[in-house]
């Protein structure tokens, strides 16, 4: 899974991406094109890099070096095409040579800025050889032309052409021939360094991404998680940055939640409406994605298990384009998830109120049996529901719910099998038409 | 030729043609040639494809743009690769145009180049800023394309040269008439009212301006949506001294306002002449009735250049044309080719 494709998962990851202060468009392209880490080692490596850099932000000279580095990085261009052409044996033109020289200059400037801090996570290559080829006069200025110092013959031709008042077409032709010969020679010499060019460009982009991730951890108050090796995931004070920022604008506070689950049993979350069940699932999806792409995690503490795939089935996003109703779309989604389990993948599945859009009799049967299916596999499976589920193959958490007229979003362990009945209470608190709510209450009493 | 001296005192110059083939490029080459005699750092670009050998629309032959040593120029990647000049590449912009990114370079010898620079007004302003700040250019010259006037807005360039000619009309009186109307608009005086702009200054719509120059209420939210029914919005206070048109001044609005007694005395203020989109008849009618139109910033029209030859083969009498134009416009008028100002 590429980072580009997870941006459309509606869990708030696009918000995190939009808040990421990346300097160069090349780094952005590389990040979007990066694959999700699935091994604990790869994830651990990302966080080791972050762990090395984060404390340095307390050092003001490091901060100022980073600020200057970011300005230099903003000039970093994507010249992978030119480097490819170089590797394939093409003769580069002035524009391409200019771009390679710019890259070498940016690289050496950043190297000077950061070298004193000895950060292992930033791999900055030495591009002096490349720079010497493209800057024979040693001016170290970002500009390029076929310099006179490349060839005494060219110097003489240019002088003669000038003396002819730029009229002598014969000399003009000789000049262009000589320039082309120099370009060919330059390209051949640069070809030996194409790997260095490629590596230094990618390393600069990776440094850019790493810096942006660290800055984001500081600005959004995120943490570096621990990588879990025993298939147990635990969050303390988990929050969703996007929803938190919306609430902040309305001067309201986000109630952070603690949650833990393991691969042994599916976890069933029950609770009243508006209890934050969906938000919890979305935030779990978000944190898992951030974890596997090496970002900071929105929590106070986190221990997270790497998975192969992440499935989030939420809301009623019916796909009218292919003619699927909300029920059909949901069934297809869950089916995909089960198929992945049957293939033996270790997944995180987050299913919000399975089969809620159909009648409660069949709906609860579907939900009940889904738990049975899921419990056959060792994977991280979480579901929410309003149905009364008697299945014993799952552990249970319940949203605390309404307390003194206020919603308490914390999750507590639950032993009962009955889903809470707070719908009418909540409807009342929302100032819904009183006659309707009253009649519903009467109807309920009649049934009981 | 005196007008080159006038150019020296302005930091940005645009060359605008009223039609294609009105001799803009000839004019640009002439100016560049003349400026080489002064110790001046010059930068040049074009908002369209300019300097091509054959006109892309009419297939008639066109002059190329010649640059001397030291001149900075900006052109697209494609045309930078095709240049016939010895030059040092200084920077490449991130923004893409249809012909690639914009390259800025310094000419190290004498030669020819096709100019195809930034095409939007906003990117032109950035271009000017970059040349002035990064390369301390004294004079930025923008070559216009087709009949676009927007680059001559004082928001972009301080002064302008207008190119007109037989391509605009094959009849001298009509050509004079059309050119005269544009120069009339260009020469609309600046308003004497000090408008009080603040952070919330209107970006669109038509606003009533009080005696002190403050923005009262909007008369219309947009110049395009007004109609009879909305004239009820006109407030009855008698302290309205002017109407500020934030966007385009249209025929429809001028006609409406000239029937509104309350506003006959009010000055109409537009940002600059490029915002005026009215027919000569409506405009002159309005002025005759006693209407007043003013601009916030006036353009500095330095000279008018004419090209008496049209791509369809029409050749007008150059002396007659220059004479007729000069008399009506009260401005210096030049036929650069005929007078043999070597280019």
Q: Three-class SS string for chain A?
A: CEHHHHCCCCCCHHHHHHCCCCCCHHHHHHHHCCECCCCHHHHHHHHHHHHHHHHHHHCHHHHHHHHHHHHHHCCCCCCHHHHHHHHCCCCCCHHHHHHHHHHHHHHHHHHHHHHHHCCCCCCCCCCHHHHHHHCCCCCCCCCECCCHHHCHHHHHHHHHHHHCCCCCHHHHHHHHHHHHHHHHHHHHHHHCCHHHHHHHHHHHHHHHHHHHHHHHHHHCCCECCEECCCCEEEEEEECCHHHHHHHHHCCCCCCCEEEEEECCCCEEEECCCCCCHHHHHHHHHHHHHHHHCCCCECCCEEEECCCCEEEEECCCCCCHHHCCCHHHHHHHHHHHHHHHHHCCCCEEEEECCCCCCCCHHHHHHHHHHHHHHHHCCCCEEEEEECCCCCCCCCEEEEEEEEECCEEEEEEEECCCCCCCCCHHHHHHHCCCCHHHHHHHHHHHHHHC
Domain range for B255 is 206-295
Decide if B92 and A145 are in contact by the 8 Å CB cutoff.
Answer: no
- A410 falls within a domain: yes
CB atoms inside a 10 Å sphere around CB A295: 28
Element (H, E) at B104: strand B100-107
Q: What is the mean pLDDT of chain B?
A: 82
pLDDT greater than 80 at residue B145: no
**Best CA proximity match to B282, nearest among B246, B247, B257, B260:** B257
- Tell which B residues from 129 to 158 touch A, by Cβ distance under 8 Å: none
Decide if A95 and B89 are in contact by the 8 Å CB cutoff.
Answer: yes
Instruction: Give the model's pLDDT for residue A376.
Output: 92
Are residues A255 and A206 both part of a single domain?
A: no
Instruction: Give the model's pLDDT for residue A288.
Output: 97
Compute the nearest-CA separation of A24 from chain B (Å).
Answer: 11
**Average pLDDT in the A235-264 region?**
92
| Nearest-by-CA chain B residue for A162 | B109
**Average pLDDT in the B280-290 region?**
89
Domain range for A264 is 221-417
- For an interface test with A, give the residue of B36, B88, B134 to mutate (most A CBs within 10 A): B88
Instruction: Give the model's pLDDT for residue B223.
Output: 55
Decide if B89 and A143 are in contact by the 8 Å CB cutoff.
Answer: yes
Which residues in B lie closer than 8 A to residue A137 (C-beta atoms)? none
* Confidence band, pLDDT 50/70/90 cuts, at residue B242: confident
Lowest pLDDT segment from A42-51, A155-164, A240-249, B59-68:
B59-68
pLDDT greater than 60 at residue A63: yes
Lowest pLDDT segment from A179-183, A240-244, A412-416:
A412-416
Are residues A80 and A208 both part of a single domain?
A: yes
- B197 falls within a domain: no
Of B213 and B292, the structure prediction assigns the larger pLDDT to B292
Residue A323, domain CATH: 3.40.50.300
Assigned token pair, A395: 């552990």
**Based on the structure, what is the number of domains in chain A?**
2
Q: What is the mean pLDDT of chain A?
A: 91
Are residues B107 and B9 both part of a single domain?
A: yes
Are residues A238 and A387 both part of a single domain?
A: yes
Instruction: Give the model's pLDDT for residue B98.
Output: 80
Of B232 and A158, the structure prediction assigns the larger pLDDT to A158
Which residues in B lie closer than 8 A to residue A143 (C-beta atoms)? 88-91, 106
Whether the Cβ atoms of residue A367 and residue A327 lie closer than 8 Å to each other: no
Decide if B86 and A98 are in contact by the 8 Å CB cutoff.
Answer: no
Put simply, whether B89 touches A (Cβ < 8 Å) is yes
pLDDT digits (tens, 9 = 90+) for A86-135: 999 999 999 999 999 999 999 999 999 999 999 999 989 999 999 999 99
> Across A312-321, B56-65, B103-112, which has the greatest mean pLDDT?
B103-112
* Confidence band, pLDDT 50/70/90 cuts, at residue B72: very high
**Average pLDDT in the B311-332 region?**
86
Decide if B89 and A94 are in contact by the 8 Å CB cutoff.
Answer: yes
**Based on the structure, what is the number of domains in chain B?**
2
Which residues in B lie closer than 8 A to residue A94 (C-beta atoms)? 80-81, 89
Residue A60, domain CATH: 1.10.1420
Decide if A95 and B92 are in contact by the 8 Å CB cutoff.
Answer: yes
pLDDT digits (tens, 9 = 90+) for A23-56: 999 999 999 999 999 999 999 999 999 999 999 9
Assigned token pair, B269: 């203020």
* Confidence band, pLDDT 50/70/90 cuts, at residue B120: confident
**Average pLDDT in the A169-182 region?**
92
- A12 falls within a domain: no
Parallel/antiparallel/unpaired status of strands B65-67 and B111-113 = antiparallel
- B343 falls within a domain: no
- B304 falls within a domain: yes
Instruction: Give the model's pLDDT for residue B343.
Output: 37
Residue B54, domain CATH: 3.40.50
Put simply, whether B224 touches A (Cβ < 8 Å) is no
Whether the Cβ atoms of residue A376 and residue A368 lie closer than 8 Å to each other: no
* Confidence band, pLDDT 50/70/90 cuts, at residue A178: very high
Are residues A242 and A145 both part of a single domain?
A: no
Which residues in B lie closer than 8 A to residue A158 (C-beta atoms)? 86, 109
Are residues A312 and A207 both part of a single domain?
A: no
Are residues B169 and B110 both part of a single domain?
A: yes
- For an interface test with B, give the residue of A166, A178, A182 to mutate (most B CBs within 10 A): A166
* Confidence band, pLDDT 50/70/90 cuts, at residue A79: very high
Are residues A395 and A288 both part of a single domain?
A: yes
Are residues B281 and B306 both part of a single domain?
A: no
Are residues A250 and A178 both part of a single domain?
A: no
Put simply, whether B109 touches A (Cβ < 8 Å) is yes
- Full-model pTM: 0.80
Give the Cα separation of A123 and A210 in Å (integer).
11
Share of chain B above pLDDT 90, in %: 19
Are residues A180 and A312 both part of a single domain?
A: no
- For an interface test with A, give the residue of B81, B83, B86, B107 to mutate (most A CBs within 10 A): B86
Instruction: Give the model's pLDDT for residue A17.
Output: 96
């Amino acid at each position: 899974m590429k980072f580009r494709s997870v941006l459309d998962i509606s869990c708030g990851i696009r918000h995190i991406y939009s808040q990421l202060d990346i300097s160069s468009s090349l780094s952005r392209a590389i990040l979007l094109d990066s694959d999700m880490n699935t091994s604990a080692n790869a994830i651990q490596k990302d966080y080791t890099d972050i762990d090395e850099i984060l404390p340095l932000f307390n050092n003001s000279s490091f901060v100022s070096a980073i600020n200057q580095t970011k300005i230099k990085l903003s000039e970093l261009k994507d010249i992978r095409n030119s480097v490819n052409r170089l590797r394939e044996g093409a003769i580069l033109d002035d524009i391409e040579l200019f771009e390679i020289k710019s890259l070498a200059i940016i690289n050496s400037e950043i190297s000077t800025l950061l070298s004193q801090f000895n950060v292992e996570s930033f791999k900055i290559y030495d591009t002096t050889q490349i720079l010497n080829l493209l800057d024979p006069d040693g001016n170290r200025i970002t500009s390029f032309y076929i310099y006179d110092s490349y060839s005494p013959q060219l110097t003489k031709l240019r002088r003669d052409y000038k003396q002819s008042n730029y009229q002598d077409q014969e000399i003009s032709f000789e000049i262009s021939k000589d320039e082309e010969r120099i370009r060919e020679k330059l390209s051949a010499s640069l070809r030996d360094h194409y790997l260095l060019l490629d590596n230094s460009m990618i390393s600069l982009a990776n440094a850019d991404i790493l810096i942006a991730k660290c800055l984001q951890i500081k600005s959004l108050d995120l943490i570096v998680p621990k990588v879990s090796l025993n298939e147990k995931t635990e969050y303390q004070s988990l929050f969703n940055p996007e929803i938190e920022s919306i609430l902040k604008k309305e001067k309201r506070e986000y109630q952070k939640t603690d949650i833990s689950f393991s691969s042994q049993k599916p976890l069933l979350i029950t609770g009243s409406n508006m209890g934050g069940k969906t938000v919890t699932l979305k935030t779990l999806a978000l944190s898992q994605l951030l974890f596997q792409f090496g970002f900071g995690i929105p929590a106070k503490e986190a221990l997270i298990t790497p998975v192969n795939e992440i499935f989030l089935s939420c809301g009623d996003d019916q796909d009218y384009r292919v003619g699927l109703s909300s029920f059909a779309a949901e069934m297809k989604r869950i089916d995909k998830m089960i198929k992945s389990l049957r293939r033996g993948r270790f997944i995180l599945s987050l299913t919000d109120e399975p089969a809620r859009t159909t009648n409660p009799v069949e709906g609860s049967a579907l939900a009940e049996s889904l738990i049975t299916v899921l419990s056959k596999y060792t994977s991280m499976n979480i579901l929410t529901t309003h149905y009364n589920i008697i299945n014993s193959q799952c552990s249970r958490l319940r949203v605390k719910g309404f307390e003194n007229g206020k919603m308490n979003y914390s999750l507590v362990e639950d032993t009962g099998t009955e889903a809470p009945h707070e719908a009418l209470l909540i409807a009342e608190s929302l100032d819904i038409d009183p006659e309707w709510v009253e009649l519903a209450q009467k109807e309920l009493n009649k049934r009981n | 030729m005196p007008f080159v001296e006038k150019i020296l005192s302005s930091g940005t110059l645009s060359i605008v043609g009223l039609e294609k083939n009105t001799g803009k490029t000839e004019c640009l080459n002439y100016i560049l040639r003349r400026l080489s005699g002064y110790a001046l750092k010059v930068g040049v670009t074009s908002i369209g494809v300019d300097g091509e050998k054959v006109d892309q629309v009419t297939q008639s032959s066109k002059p190329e743009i010649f640059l001397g040593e030291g001149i900075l120029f900006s052109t697209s990647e494609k045309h930078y690769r095709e240049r016939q000049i010895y030059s040092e590449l200084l920077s490449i912009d991130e923004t893409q145009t249809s012909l690639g990114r914009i390259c800025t370079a310094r000419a190290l010898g004498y030669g020819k180049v096709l100019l195809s620079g930034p095409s939007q007004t906003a990117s032109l302003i950035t271009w000017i800023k970059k040349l002035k700040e990064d390369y301390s250019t004294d004079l930025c010259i923008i070559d216009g394309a087709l009949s676009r006037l927007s680059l001559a807005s004082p928001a972009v360039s301080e002064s302008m040269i207008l190119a007109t000619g037989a391509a605009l009309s094959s009849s001298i009186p009509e050509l004079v008439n059309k050119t005269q109307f544009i120069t009339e608009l260009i020469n609309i005086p600046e308003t004497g009212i000090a408008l009080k702009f603040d952070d919330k200054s209107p970006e669109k719509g038509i606003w009533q301006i009080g005696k002190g120059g403050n923005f009262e209420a909007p008369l219309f939210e947009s110049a395009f949506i007004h109609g009879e029914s909305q004239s009820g919005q006109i407030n009855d206070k008698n302290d309205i001294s002017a109407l500020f048109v934030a966007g385009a001044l249209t025929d429809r609005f001028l006609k409406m306002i000239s029937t509104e007694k309350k506003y006959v005395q009010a000055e109409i203020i537009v940002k600059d002449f490029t915002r005026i989109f009215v027919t000569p008849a409506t405009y002159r009618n309005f002025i005759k009735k006693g209407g007043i139109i003013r601009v916030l910033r006036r353009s500095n029209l330095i000279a008018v250049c004419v090209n008496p030859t049209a791509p369809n083969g029409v050749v007008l009498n150059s002396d007659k044309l220059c004479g007729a134009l000069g008399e009506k416009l009260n401005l210096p008028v030049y036929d650069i080719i005929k007078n043999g100002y070597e280019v």
